[in-house]
């Protein structure tokens, strides 16, 4: 039976190797979710707009600066999480 565990260093190497494909995916998801969140209601509340724009712009800045994928994935995860929480809030309340 083969050992299927993947170490963290193997995962990071794989992320770095697939950088350009991941950048396209992250750019699309973060950009669209940020715009959707603003369009659903964050534009009417300054605090919500700031909470959406800052993590989105940090993620996009990391992409543009060709930062390590570890940083990009962390920033994208935070940005997507915030966007999904606010989208759920604006849709259901």
Global pTM value: 0.88
pLDDT in tens, 6-32: 788 888 889 999 999 999 999 999 999
pLDDT in tens, 25-42: 999 999 999 999 999 999
Residue 53: exposure state from Cβ atoms within 10 A (0-12, 13-18, ≥19) = middle
CB 27 within 8 A of CB 60: yes
CB 58 within 8 A of CB 76: no
């Amino acid at each position: 039976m083969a050992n299927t565990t993947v170490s963290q260093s193997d995962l990071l190497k794989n992320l770095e190797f697939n950088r350009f494909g991941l950048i396209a995916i992250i750019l699309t998801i973060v950009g669209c979710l940020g715009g959707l969140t603003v369009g659903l209601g964050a534009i009417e509340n300054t605090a919500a707009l700031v909470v959406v724009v800052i993590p989105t712009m940090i993620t996009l800045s990391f992409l543009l600066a060709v930062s390590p994928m570890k940083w990009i994935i962390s920033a994208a995860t935070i940005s997507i999480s915030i966007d999904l929480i606010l989208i759920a809030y604006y849709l259901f309340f």
